Amino acid sequence: MANLKGSLSWDWYSGTIPNNAVIDETAYIETTFSFFLYRSRAQVGLQIGKGASTYLGTMFDVGTQGRVSLGKYALVHGARIVCDDEIKIGDHALISWNVVLMDTYRAPLDPVERRKELEQIPKRKLRHIDAEQPARPIHIGANVWIGFDACVLPGVTIGEGSIVGARSVVTTDVEPYTIVAGNPARVIRHLVV
Ligand SMILES: CC(C)(COP(=O)(O)OP(=O)(O)OC[C@H]1O[C@@H](n2cnc3c(N)ncnc32)[C@H](O)[C@@H]1OP(=O)(O)O)[C@@H](O)C(=O)NCCC(=O)NCCS
């Protein structure tokens, strides 16, 4: 199976697909602007499966060691994916607009360290926070649906077939086939399958 490479004929932005991205030729990337913050130097920093789609507003904010994978027929409708370690999105997952998946907080929790980090930013070519912070992988199971404006925090695993309500903040693991919602997200009910 061939992979998408280089620039995209329909793209309004003059970017290219990163060299270490493995994107199935049947996948759809609406714009390479999604890679504006992509800095991964992993052997494979991004893997996108058969028939998967990423739409306008999706940003792969992937650090140098980050690895993101998107399963077949998964659909990401404008999410911010902040990854310094690993974020896996399963087959047929549906990620709505303005969702944030972050496997790291990037900014130091200590106020003195945070101030020092902010003072470094004007000296950088890429003017953004780049503090070494711990990262814990996020795993989104197959068939999961994450509603708009929801946020998934570091270390969370969401089990197959589960649903996250709009504007929820998911701080702990979600069992398969479970609906969670709120801040912090709590179980609403279990799905009968
Ligand atoms: C999570 C969701 C699917 C649940 O739908 P539902 O099963 O019909 O749930 P209900 O409306 O019966 O609500 C059940 C309970 O959960 C609460 N709840 C539902 N969604 C919630 C949310 N996003 N945040 C907080 N609480 C929520 C309800 O207030 C209700 O609480 P109560 O029992 O105390 O009255 C739906 O609320 C939702 O958030 N959908 C998001 C859709 C979306 O993002 N679409 C984008 C297009 S991809």
Q: Cα(76)–Cα(46) distance, rounded to whole angstroms?
A: 14
For 106-129, what is the mean pLDDT? Answer: 92
Using one digit for the tens of pLDDT, what is the confidence trace for 33-60?
999 999 999 999 999 999 999 999 999 9
- Residue nearest ligand 1's atom 34 by CA: 188
> Phi/psi class of residue 55: alpha, beta or left (left: φ > 0; alpha: ψ in -120 to 50)?
beta
Q: Which two tokens stand for residue 4?
A: 């998408």
Whether ligand 1 lies within 6 angstroms of the CB of 168 is answered as yes
Nearest to 175 by CA among 160, 164, 193, 154: 160
Instruction: Give the model confidence (pLDDT) of 66-87 as tens digits.
Output: 999 999 999 999 999 999 999 9
Segment among 113-117, 122-126, 166-170 with least mean pLDDT:
122-126
- pLDDT bin (cut points 50, 70, 90) of residue 1 is low
3 backbone dihedrals φ, ψ, rounded to 5°: -120, 155
- pLDDT for 139 equals 98
Kindly state if the Cβ of 167 falls inside 6 Å of ligand 1. Answer: yes
Q: Enter the CATH code of domain 21-190.
A: 2.160.10.10
- Which residue's alpha carbon is at the smallest distance from atom 37 of ligand 1? 165
Q: Is any ligand 1 atom within 6 A of the Cβ of residue 47?
A: no
Measured in angstroms, how far is the CA atom of residue 181 from the centroid of ligand 1?
7
Residue 65's closest CA among 153, 138, 135?
Answer: 135
Percentage, residues of the chain above pLDDT 70: 99
Ligand 1 contacts CB of residue 184 (under 6 A): no
- Total-model pTM: 0.95
